[in-house]
Amino acid sequence: MKKKLQAYIIRNDQKQIILDIAFVLFLLSLLRHFIVSFFSTFEYESWQISEFLINYQDGFVRRGLSGELLYFIVQNFDLDVLWTIKIICLASVSLVSLFFFKAFLKKGFSLYILPLCFFLSAGILSDYWIRKDYLLFCFFIPVIWLYGKTHLSILSKTLLINLLGIFIILCHEVFVFFSVPILFLLFLNQYKDKGYLVSVLLSLASLAPIIFVFLITVLFHGNEETAQVIWNSWLPYFNHETSEIGKSVKALGWTSSYAMKYHFLRNFFSVDHNIWSFWVWPIIYSVIYYISTNVLLVFRRNEKSFTNNDKTILSSILIFQFICLLPVLLVLSIDYIRINFYWIASSFTIFLLIPKHKIENLFPKIGLKWVENVNTFLSNILRPTKTTLVFLMLFIGVSYYGFKIESYYESTMLYNTLSFISEPFVILKDLLKQ
């Protein structure tokens, strides 16, 4: 019996060593990818850069606040447009990563999930860290943190949450989809003693400023003339000529019907390598959900650090946040790796910052029971173990935008790790050819 126990411990130690090596190699591959992209030259016309250039030079328009502030800075301090945007994004990535790193350590959670393609490395792998995504979470995290602070009055919380929410919604309205629904539930729970109807009205009133500003951004969505004026306002500050309007700026001219139809068709009726996208998404999202709900349980340090009840709570948040993001996934975007980042990062932020008893009260008991049944069903199909989770983490990826098999496998942990360790041999091969 003693020998069997020793052999079991040795096998587990060996697995842990292999996992640690793979983890470190993947982190190094991400670091390399990040450094290369940071010093790469992005075109002004690219989606990444032009997203930050939307401003108010032709009047109020959605997503224009950050661009107007950037325009003011560049205009008055003679700064380079590209590098200013890169520095803002670098600061945002660093702050968000630091929050999750410290929060996971504080809670005693495993760090293995953090660098996955659908979590913190989402933007790094696709060069989409130069977008507003991490900036959005520099506001979402404080908003959720504020609600969880017990020493603040409800009036102070409401005021600060609305101020932060309004600011970032004026930078990008997608913030609404993963923030307002969960905030509504939290406020609803706050006022539940006042009766259902009154609590609903008070919750809506608490979020009325945010909702109003969101509706204004929908109304002032822009047009082709606005896009041209905005682009012309930046031309004096570009260090080289541009041939066309930036893609994100140009998208202001899209009509709502065109945008929805375009995204819906690309999302569900694309075919790549004879594979229809409609069949792929249920598989990918099921696997992502399975990993996200089981990884902290499987890699827990002790039974108290993450319990089965914690798994149910986290699972409930993940399902709720996924439902809230469905409009974005279905008809408002084809940037899958960004949507997955919104989904996973927002869910874990809520789970980390809101007390567990408050989260449990957000969802009906029948809903929590249904979530438990779903988790049991998935666990019966594939038992969650370290080996199972590591295998899935190696092979799961998310297409950057549109349905493309190539970008799917390029976002996997296995591809990036093998690519990183193969690079010295590729360099050696090139040297030998000379």
* Distance, CA of 267 to CA of 331 (rounded, Å): 8
127 Rama sector, left if φ>0, alpha if ψ -120 to 50, beta otherwise: left
Amino acid identity, position 231: W
Residue 421 tokens, joined = 């360790």
Element (H, E) at 275: strand 275-276
Rounded Cα gap, residues 68 and 395, in angstroms: 41
Alpha-carbon Rg of the chain, whole angstroms? Answer: 23
CA atoms within 13 A on the CB side of 138: 17
Are 67 and 52 within 8 A, CB to CB? yes
* CB neighbours of residue 395 within 10 Å: 13
pTM above 0.85, yes or no: yes
Q: What does the DSSP assignment read for 138-155?
A: HHHHHHHHHHH-TTS-HH
Residue 176 · residue 214 · CB < 8 Å: yes
No. of helices (H) and no. of strands (E), the chain: 21, 2
Mind listing the pLDDT tens digit of every residue in the chain (434 residues)? 555 445 544 555 666 777 788 888 999 999 999 999 999 889 999 999 999 999 999 999 999 999 999 999 999 998 999 999 999 999 999 999 999 999 999 998 988 889 988 899 988 988 889 999 999 999 999 999 999 887 888 899 999 999 999 999 999 999 999 999 999 999 999 998 888 899 999 999 999 999 999 999 999 999 999 999 999 999 999 987 777 899 999 999 998 889 889 888 888 888 888 888 888 888 899 999 999 999 999 988 888 889 999 999 999 999 999 999 999 999 999 888 899 999 999 999 999 999 888 898 899 999 999 999 999 999 999 999 888 998 899 898 888 888 888 888 888 999 999 999 998 888 888 788 77
The number of residues in the chain equals 434
Q: What is the DSSP letter of 149?
A: -
